[in-house]
Structure 1
Amino acid sequence: MPPAAPPPRPAAGGTAGWKSAVEALTGQTPAEPTLPTIAEAGDGARTAMGLLFELREQTPRTNDRWRGATAVRASATRARAGAIRLGVRPVLRSDSGKWVKSTITWSNVGYQLNRQNLNVEQHRWFCQFVPLHRVDRPVYNGQDTEWLYLDEFESPLLWHLLAEAQRLGIGLAGSHKDAVVTVGATASVLLDAVLTAEDLTLSPVLSIDGHRHPVGDAGALGEHGVYAYRLGVDAAIVLAPSIEPLSPEQRRLLGSTGDRAAPAPGLVVPAGEVDEFLREYYPSLRRSLPITSADASIAFPPPPPPVLVHTVSFEPKQAVRLDWQWQGDRDEQAEVEVLDRVNTALPDLSAPADPAAPTVTLKGLPAAEYTDQTLPRLDAIPGVRVQLVGEKPDYHELTGTPQLIVTTVETEKRDWFDLGVIVKIDGRSVPFNPIFTALAKGRKKLLLVDNSYLSLTQPVFDRLRELIEEARALAEWETGLRINRHQASLWSDFEDLADKTEQAVSWRAAVGGLLQLERGHADATALPRATPLPAGLNATLRPYQLAGFEWLVFLWEHGLGGILADDMGLGKTLQVLALLSHAVQHPATAEPRRPFLVVAPTSVVSNWLAEAARFTPGLRVGAVTSTQATSGRSLADQAQGVDVLVTSYALFRLDFAAYQAHGWAGLILDEAQFVKNRTSQLHRFARDLDVPFKLAVTGTPLENNLLELWAQFAIVAPGLFPSARRFTEEYLRPAERKVRSQRELIERLRRRIRPLMLRRTKDVVARDLPAKQEQVLRIDLDPEHREIYDTFLQRERQKLLGLMDDLEANRFIVFRSITLLRMLSLDASLVDEQYAAVPSSKLDALFEQLDEVVAEGHRALIFSQFTSYLALAAARLDARGVRYSYLDGSTTDRPGVIDEFKTGDAPVFLISLKAGGFGLNLTEADYVFLLDPWWNPASESQAIDRTHRIGQTRNVMVYRLVAADTIEEKVMALKETKARLVEAVLDDDAVFAAALTADDIRGLLEP
């Protein structure tokens, strides 16, 4: 309607002067204040929107009724069959002023702004409504999608939305004719108590803005509000937020049918039981529901003081769960006083009492001490009630003086015996396993499985400290106290400490034999008994080989692993073949016989077949030459009907799952240096293969550092040594530990390995071998060659010396430069073809010697680590018309090349050091030329022993060609250091050296 005419202006300074000033600022006169009605809501230019409320009766589908709507509009005239819920949906004002559903729904309201010409602000309100309704629940598609139910509106922001709707002029309408929808200010749900002479009645009461409503015709809006309704004539719906969040008990009072329990019309307590109600039931009831007495007919007792309930739940595996909770009405000052008394009584190991904190769980010893010592103190504190859940264990402390008894019991695990150390305290026997573990971890007390506990600070346990310092590093001792058969010296330590020992029979046989070897036979050649050679052995064993065979038989019969580490050329393969024949002819058990598995380098597999055919023709020996996938044959098929199956390291690695699944009598690792890298997959597979007997065969058990020795013993005698980390600390870094002298450590190491490693050097059998003469030829470089070498040396020195502080990070760069200088020491053309015309003094010196050797009818082996240098030597042989054989890693027909040299008359055999370091028996040659030295003495010894071995009848001449004043002389010095390491550990008592260090490399680069 048009605005009313402005009233006359009052005189200046009159009582309405302020009104005139406002009119002057606004340019208009005030209209009569009115509120928009539903008919007037919205703006005239766009379609107004409203929110339609409807009480909907839920009609869940059944087997007989599975079609149709899941809810219908509630009616006052129809019997109620389902729960009532309050649904809402958007509606539009029609041209006639009525609210119509039109085509707008909650699912498409976001797209209807322009299609329906909607009020922009009202449309934005409806778009916000849907996501707020679904903030805590998934979006469901399909059933009853036109309606959203306010019963499920969990967010209290609903009341902000409804207030905003009133501001925006959004109409609130009911679907029943003339129904009125209102939003109240506050609501409450409580019990009202009325006491009469006959009884006490507690009735549920719903109040909205001071007006009572029937609780049966009402519902809860989440935890934040309620609604009440009236159907039929004068239909109405009223909503209001609750004063405080509704408890589950309050929500259960509302509603009448369906998924809600019908509210009780009233709780009636007979007069004679009112006192009991007030005393026993009223305190807990009032914490769930507000209780009042509108007519003041009853005076309720004051709330009791707060009680701190400490719930202690006893759980499996000696665990105790601790909960704290207040009961009664809250009183901040009283609660602070109770908590102070409680936390004073709690031990330091327990978490402080805090009802607001998460549950605390104590396990093991802390749980036992808490139950035994702390709970009685807490139970005596006023204001605290201790509530026990579950059966309380009988935790108690043992205080007697312990006595030790040691026994051994056989286990199913190979190489291990349970070490039955029994501790007797207070007349009861306590297993030593948990005591040992606790002592090893430095604990002061120990909880036992029978819920008793004891102190470990008693003097009797101090006697074990030195033993634990060594033995606690064994991983197996973490899961069960066991002693390995190989740890004979460790058993001796236990015998010294125990009050009594009872040994298992088989343990006594195994360990007793080892102790005999360890204590009385330093060379490990005298065995418990002599063993006849197997029938059909086609060889005459030398005395040291016979001793080796008997030693191997001893290990085999007792299930002990070991390392046969004789020098190259002393017949290790023959000794092993003799063992295999013995084992096949004298099986250890009556079970079906399984074959032995021999794993060797690819180039040596054929040698095993040839040696077996020569020395043990009665053995059925087979070989695996390809993977299962390539050959099309399973490993089980190839192992069928053989006594020994020989395979290569490569095939063993590729088909390990098949090898693990088959089952073997034993594992023989030939040239066991192939598994010396403890981080390699090959080492892990050899270690994990489950067999009753493992033997490593190698002439070079130790090449660079002691961890290589550890790696091999980890395979054949697991548990002999602790972990690699602890082994490094104990033996490789004695100076850092400063616990024992180096000599003491090395003696301890040799004492451990002596019973399980058999090593005879050529000095032991010198009478069986011809003489060997070694000579170093020091060769001066040609002047032009010298100038090139010195130039490169200075450049590499400048580059590398700055990298020495972090050798591990720069190791690749360092060794690349060292290799460059080594190649330059041989021939400048190996580095750059532009130096091809520079004279090679070393090749000249080689052929000065070689021409005479060939002329006198001798045969020579020529070794180099660099195949490119061997190619230069081959070119000179071609130029001289000297026939030769050639072998390196790329040779495809290795057996054919070797046989060609052995059966032919070529006087020279060129061999790369890597390809010819093992698996060759070349006694046809009697001269050896090493063209380039390396700091690993084992590599050179392997090369020399291709010809200086059993079967050689002539003197062997060895020449090492070393370029003077070059890196090769530094390498020779380092080689001597490495040789001392081997001698110290395996052969004599010299102080062993460390692995290759940054200082070693600096020495290589010195002028």
Structure 2
Amino acid sequence: MRYSPHDYQAFALQQILDKPACALFLDLGMGKTVITLSAINQLKPQKALVIAPLRVAEDTWSKECEKWDHLKSLRIAKVLGSEKKRLAALKSIAELYVINRENVSWLVTYYGRKWPFDMVVIDELSSFKSARANRFKALRKVRPLIKRIVGLTGTPSPNGLLDLWPQIYLLDRGERLGKTLGGYRDRYFIPDKRNQEVIFSWKLRPRAEEAIYEKLSDICVSMKAQDYLTMPERIDNIVQVEMSAQEMALYKRLEKDMLLPFAEGDIDAANAAALSNKLLQLAGGAVYDENGGVRLIHRRKLDALEDLWEGANGKPILVFYSYKHDKTRLIDFFKTVKPRELKTSQDITDWNEGKIEVALAHPASAGHGLNLQAGGHIIIWFGLTWSLELYQQANGRLYRQGQQETVVIHHIITAGTVDEQVVAALNRKETGQTALLDAVKARLGAI
């Protein structure tokens, strides 16, 4: 296929060509991969490395090269699988090497100071948002040996602007936001929620947000899909279910006492985070007990799911779940149509060819880089995620350019439970991230 870039794609490509370090905050479906591959094709680095989520590393980059005529000469080596397979891939001759982010530490240890990749692309830069993560620490060691680096993401600050420091540090080695996370935090934030000396959260100092955006404006380019592409219509629907008085009493008891006693094994929570997790499970209808067993509490969400399934009138639906016991219950619930979990390349191909009526996916495994818009237009959130990044990316599998139908996103919410808090939290986080993206947005008028 011949590649005829949109104006915004040509602009983004030029950013990579002109700047040794840059970040493209491009919305889902805007072509981050083909833009970056086109840049690699023109720059012709000695060796280029792409760090990506596993599923993206397995499929997306190679398929994009196969799709476009001008990229078919690019050879890709997939540094994936067992250590033996990874080593064989590294020894092969290619222009581009692709590795999953879980193996970054291994790769850095393997090469050490003999790091051979002069260009590095971090696909889903926000997965390097933790300065304590081994992947960040490893890449930081070899950053001085990297001549050109590109960060790609649509969600740069899913949980707030504190997330930005590690990502930007990998780009500019501390030039804009400082050499340390502590320095960045002290400069732009003040303690918010705390318990004596323990600080649980931070809030921005006055005018700090604008100052951060200004610091990033020269190396970060942000573009929203609706500004440049013809996006499908999207309908977000809240489907509220209610537990019975007895079921709600169990919920309230767990919330109050952090314990629900059962003869075969108690449901207990050691701290606030664990309690939130248990309450989210109970809102969905089933909870793990202390022995790893599953306690079935109600089927309110399954009843609502049945109505939505029937309302789809045979059209494919993509159901996102949160816990393994959710998946087990969903497989049993949909057993008449043999639901498929989207795990392999063949699953994705079959979905896009309309061969799967019900697809199941966890947002962490199907949240990045997969093009599923050809297979359906209905999403059902059986269990929500606290992660704005995963939530947006998961919805973006169907809500993207090329989608021919109105995308309907159903959220099954149990009234009076933590489900409602998750929805509110996702809305709050989206507001903050939208501000960042708007601040560094590139307009076509500036091209």
- Alignment TM-score, normalising by the size of structure 2: 0.85
Q: Which amino acid aligns with 2:379?
A: V
Is 1:572 the equivalent of 2:25?
no
The one-character-per-residue Cα deviations of 1:50-86 (angstroms, maximum 9, x if unpaired) are: xxxxxxxxxxxxxxxxxxxxxxxxxxxxxxxxxxxxx
Other-structure match for 1:601 = 53
Counterpart residue type for residue 217 of structure 2: R
Structure with the largest fraction of helix: 2
Deviation at 1:883, TM superposition (A): 3.3
Report the equivalent of 2:281: 823
Equivalent pair of 1:918/1:942 in contact (CA under 8 Å): yes
Distance in 2 (alpha carbons) for counterparts of 1:750 and 1:695: 18
| Residue 834 to residue 771, structure 1, CA distance change in 2 (3 Å) | closer
Provide closer, same or farther for how the CA distance between residues 795 and 750 of structure 1 changes in structure 2, counting only shifts above 3 A.
same
* SS state at 2:73 partner: coil
Q: Does 1:544 align with 2:8?
A: yes
Determine whether 1:844 maps to 2:306: no
Rg larger in 1 or in 2?
1
- d(CA) in 1 for partners of 2:387 and 2:287? 26
Corresponding residue of 2:210: 747
Residues 234-313 of structure 1 mapped to structure 2, 5 A cutoff: none
Secondary structure, counterpart of 2:301 in structure 1: helix
Identity of aligned residues (%): 19
- 2:351 maps to 1:901: yes
**8 Å CA contact 1:782, 1:841 repeated in 2:** no
Q: 1:787–1:626: structure 2 CA closer, same or farther, 3 Å change rule? A: closer
Query: Is 1:768–1:950's contact at 8 Å kept on the other side of the alignment?
Result: yes
Unaligned runs of 5+ in 2: 194-202, 261-268, 441-447
> What is the aligned partner in structure 2 of residue 721 from structure 1?
177
Q: Does 1:563 align with 2:27?
A: no
Is 2:278–2:287's contact at 8 Å kept on the other side of the alignment? no
Distance apart, 1:858 and its partner CA: 2.0
Question: What secondary structure, in the 3-state scheme, does the structure 1 residue paired with 2:2 have?
Answer: coil
CA contact (8 A) 2:232 2:401 kept: no
Question: Which has the higher relative contact order, 1 or 2, with Cα contacts under 8 A spaced 6 or more apart?
Answer: 2
Cα distance per residue 1:237-280 (max 9 Å; x no partner) = xxxxxxxxxxxxxxxxxxxxxxxxxxxxxxxxxxxxxxxxxxxx
In 1: Cα distance, 2:27 partner to 2:206 partner = 25
Q: 1:604 to 1:659 in 2, by over 3 A?
A: farther
Distance (Å, rounded) in 2 between the aligned partners of 1:921 and 1:701: 20
On the 8 A contact 1:825/1:967 being kept in 2, the answer is yes
User: How much has 1:938 moved relative to structure 2?
Assistant: 2.2
Q: Deviations over 1:829-851 (max 9, x none)?
A: 65597854x54111111110111
CA contact (8 A) 2:253 2:259 kept: no
How many positions carry a matched residue from both structures?
412
CA–CA distance in 1 between the matches of 2:364 and 2:86? 32
C-alpha separation between the residues in 1 aligned to 2:307 and 2:275? 31
- Listed as ranges, the gaps of 5+ residues in structure 1 are 1-536, 585-592, 799-810, 990-1007
Pairing partner for 1:777 from 215, 233, 239: 239
Match 1:865 to one of 310, 322, 331: 322
Cα deviation for residue 552 of structure 1 reads 1.8
Q: CA deviation at 1:709?
A: 0.9
Partner of 2:138: 685
Q: Is the 8 A contact 1:598 1:645 kept in 2?
A: yes
Q: Residue in 1 aligned with 2:263?
A: none
Deviation at residue 572 of structure 1 after TM alignment? 1.0
Name the counterpart of 1:761.
Answer: 224
Q: Alpha carbons of 1:969 and 1:940: their partners in 2 closer, same or farther (altered >3 Å)?
A: same
Match of 1:930 in 2: 381
Decide whether aligned partners of structure 1 residues 686 and 741 sit closer, same or farther in structure 2, where only a CA change above 3 A counts: closer
Per-residue deviation, 1:927: 0.5
Q: Which residue of 2 aligns with 1:712?
A: 167
In structure 2, do the counterparts of structure 1 residues 926 and 569 end up closer, same or farther at CA, with 3 Å as the change threshold? same
Q: Give the residue type in structure 1 aligned to 2:42.
A: H
Distance (whole Å) between structure 1 residues aligned to residue 103 and residue 2 of structure 2: 30
CA distance in structure 2 between the aligned counterparts of 1:619 and 1:975, rounded to whole angstroms:
39
- Residues 1:741 and 1:777: Cα distance change in structure 2 (over 3 Å): closer
Residue 650 (structure 1) aligned with residue 127 (structure 2): no
Contact 1:600–1:671, Cα closer than 8 Å, also in 2: yes
CA contact (8 A) 2:15 2:22 kept: no
Equivalent runs, 1:65-104 vs 2, <5 Å = none
1:571 to partner: Cα distance: 1.6
Contact 1:864 1:931 in 2 (8 A): yes
**Where in structure 2 are the equivalents of 1:960-975 lying within 5 Å?**
960-975=411-426
- 1:1-29: per-residue Cα shift (whole Å, max 9, x none)? xxxxxxxxxxxxxxxxxxxxxxxxxxxxx
Q: Which residue of 1 aligns with 2:17?
A: 553
Q: Shift in Å at residue 741 of structure 1? A: 8.5
Alpha-carbon offset, residue 936 of structure 1: 2.7
Q: 1:710 offset after TM fit, Å?
A: 0.6
Q: Deviations over 1:458-497 (max 9, x none)?
A: xxxxxxxxxxxxxxxxxxxxxxxxxxxxxxxxxxxxxxxx
Q: CA deviation at 1:694?
A: 0.8
Instruction: Give the drift of 1:910.
Output: 0.5
What is the CA–CA distance in structure 2 between the aligned matches of 1:666 and 1:925, rounded to whole Å?
37
Q: Tell me how far apart the structure 2 counterparts of residues 935 and 834 of structure 1 sit (CA, whole Å).
A: 22
The answer to whether 1:793 aligns with 2:255 is yes
**RMSD (Å) for aligned C-alpha atoms:** 2.7
Deviation at 1:617, TM superposition (A): 0.8
Which deviations, in whole Å up to 9, do the C-alpha atoms of 1:127-178 show, x marking residues without a partner? xxxxxxxxxxxxxxxxxxxxxxxxxxxxxxxxxxxxxxxxxxxxxxxxxxxx
Structure 1 letter corresponding to 2:248: R
User: So what's the TM-score if we normalise by structure 1?
Assistant: 0.39
Q: Which whole-Å CA distance do the structure 2 matches of 1:724 and 1:632 have between them?
A: 33
1:610 paired with 2:69, answer no
**Conservation of the 8 A alpha-carbon contact between 1:825 and 1:966:** yes
Contact 2:25–2:220, Cα closer than 8 Å, also in 1: yes
Amino acid at match of 1:630: K
